[in-house]
Amino acid sequence: MKSYKSIIVSALLAGVTLSTTSCIGDLDLEPNDPNTTTAGNLTEETYEAVLAKCYSTMAVSGQYGPDGASDISGLDGGTGQYTRALFMLNEFPTDETKWIWADEGVFDLNTNTWSKGNVNIFGTYSRLYVHIAVCNDFLRLVKGKDSYAELALEARALRAMSYYNVIDLFGQGGFITEDDAAGTAPEQKSRKELYDWLAAELEDIVANMSDATPHYGRVGKDGVEALLARLYLNANVYVGTPAYDKCAQHCESIIARHKGSGFQGSGLADHYLYLFCGDNDAYMPGGNDVNEILWGIPYDAIEITPYGGTTFLCCAGTNNLTWADNNAYMNCEDYGLNQQWGCMHATSEFADKFAAEPNDVRWSMWKKEEDGFKKENKTFSSFTDGYGVVKFTNLLRDGDGNFKVGEITKFPNTDLPLIRLADVYLMYAECAMRGSADHAKGLEYANYVRERAGVSKWTAADLNEQNMIDERCRELYWENVRRTDLIRFGLFTGNKYNWSWKANVAEGAAIPEYMNLFPIPASVISAQPDFKQNPNY
């Protein structure tokens, strides 16, 4: 176990649950164990343990281990885990990856053929609102208690992350805060109403949160401000009014707090792949190196072991293949793990993003032709019909960008980045490309990212739309931003850009514009008939 004691571990060991009403009528949470702490018997000494539940709800599916009950009854504990649920909606429908197993609802996400009854869309919506409900319950407990103001800011930040994902994935959604009594039915708000509330909420949190580095495993000002910048980056999509100038301003604020250390004094880690390995906690807030990971979720091979999080990202992309039996080679133990799933690989279009700079370190660990893997995705269910994507591992840093195998474990020690400083640099560069920030500075910031990856520097003319969307893909792949980026650049729906199995066509085909939003799940509409459905669903 890591030397740090994270707040998530505290929640798991304390067995804290909350008697919480979610924003979904048929998903009311009740404690499974009457001896655990509930909202009705809390004392002031247990408030921080309850805040830990707000954190752990994002990290694990429940409090009884990877094979135990989930916080949401009726959902698989793996697919229903917070970040895995988000990954399925942010990455599966795009050009970055395909899940080759025909799991219920997952094939529809991979092929852009989903409907309002898709179980995984319902699972994601549910997980977001359960998290919002848990945060609301904590905020009700500490409301009016000035001595817990800092903890309240953290809970508001955690809740903001879930409301951001509601805005991004579903547009409109239910809305309820700590100002509403527990059990109050949520009111559906439009995308603009949710956006306006969230922008003001995040601005207030940023203005009142300390600049101090937060304790490991917790969110601080950098992470919150980066989420605000991400909201403003997508404002034109969300509400039809660009806010690139605001995005750039907040990016500059974050960058100013990190300049002076790390790669070329940028605040970035010196080695890209170290950010996704078994001791990447060094780059988390409160870690012992440059804190490029502005907001992340701790994981641990012993205490924090879901089938989502980094276990999902490590194991789904690896397989055990031998030359003798498979005409290809891959082994999960090479990455510090003794379990593999072999079910997620790259599309050929994703691989092509690296073709111009084949020595890019960001794909240097992938399995390619020399390992028996094909670039093309001709057979949907074949793992080797698509390059093997290796980004997240359980390896340990061995200096100068090299790795060593430490203890081989079933679950990784690898923490999960939610927002990194590299994304902030690229957000500013995009704002500059769009004419809302200093062009020379945007070029400088983009080149920090590119030079760290070992590829050529851009010139002024290179800061254009195609290069920008491709660079974000190369740098941020599998970090839950691809669908959002494609929509912002007008490339997700329609026929302007197609990829393997888009619209369930091998070579890709157009999908309608209304699919820029997911449907409000049919079961939610059924439970709350006053809610409106998104158009054309």
Split at pLDDT 50, 70, 90, the class of 30 is very low
| 309 φψ region: left (φ > 0), alpha (ψ -120 to 50), beta (else) | left
pLDDT at 26 over 50: no
Tell me the percentage of the chain whose pLDDT exceeds 90.
Answer: 84
The SS3 of residue 103 is coil
pLDDT at 509 over 90: yes
Higher pLDDT pick, 415 / 74: 415
282 CB contacts (<8 Å, ≥6 apart)? 274, 288, 289, 397
pLDDT at 306 over 80: yes
Q: Which of 12-26, 58-72, 149-163, 240-254 has the lowest mean pLDDT?
A: 12-26
Split at pLDDT 50, 70, 90, the class of 68 is low
Nearest-angstrom CA–CA distance, 19 and 473 = 41
pLDDT at 62 over 80: no
Nearest-angstrom CA–CA distance, 116 and 514 = 13
Candidates 98, 4, 10; CA nearest to 49 is 10
Q: What is the DSSP letter of 532?
A: P
pLDDT at 33: 29
pLDDT at 102: 87
pLDDT tens across 158-185, in order?
A: 999 999 999 999 999 999 999 999 889 8
What value, to the nearest 5°, has the Cα angle with vertex 345 and ends 365 and 332? 55
pLDDT at 18: 52
Higher pLDDT pick, 27 / 161: 161
Find the mean pLDDT for residues 493-514. Answer: 97
Q: Tokens at residue 292, please?
A: 């490029």
Q: Which of 22-36, 49-63, 144-158, 315-329 has the lowest mean pLDDT?
A: 22-36
Find the mean pLDDT for residues 56-75. Answer: 73
pLDDT at 368 over 90: yes
Nearest-angstrom CA–CA distance, 204 and 97 = 37
pLDDT tens across 391-435, in order?
A: 999 999 999 999 999 999 999 999 999 999 999 999 999 999 999
Higher pLDDT pick, 22 / 462: 462
Q: Tokens at residue 442, please?
A: 């945007």
Split at pLDDT 50, 70, 90, the class of 131 is very high
List the beta bridge partners of residue 189.
Answer: 173
Contact assessment for residue 519 and residue 171, using Cβ atoms and an 8 Å cutoff: no
Contact assessment for residue 247 and residue 432, using Cβ atoms and an 8 Å cutoff: no
Contact assessment for residue 415 and residue 303, using Cβ atoms and an 8 Å cutoff: no
Q: Diameter of the chain by CA atoms?
A: 67
Q: Which of 18-22, 213-217, 387-391, 400-404 has the lowest mean pLDDT?
A: 18-22
pLDDT tens across 192-203, in order?
A: 999 999 999 999
pLDDT tens across 81-92, in order?
A: 999 999 999 999
pTM (2 d.p.): 0.94
pLDDT at 221 over 90: yes
Split at pLDDT 50, 70, 90, the class of 36 is very low
pLDDT at 361 over 90: yes
pLDDT at 78: 74
200 CB contacts (<8 Å, ≥6 apart)? none
First to last CA, the chain: 46
Q: Tokens at residue 524, please?
A: 């939610």
pLDDT at 31: 30
pLDDT at 144 over 60: yes
pLDDT at 496: 97
Q: Tokens at residue 371, please?
A: 């390992």
pLDDT at 20 over 60: no
Nearest-angstrom CA–CA distance, 224 and 495 = 35
The 3-state DSSP composition of the chain as helix, strand, coil percent (nearest 5) reads: 45, 5, 50
Summary mean pLDDT of the chain: 92
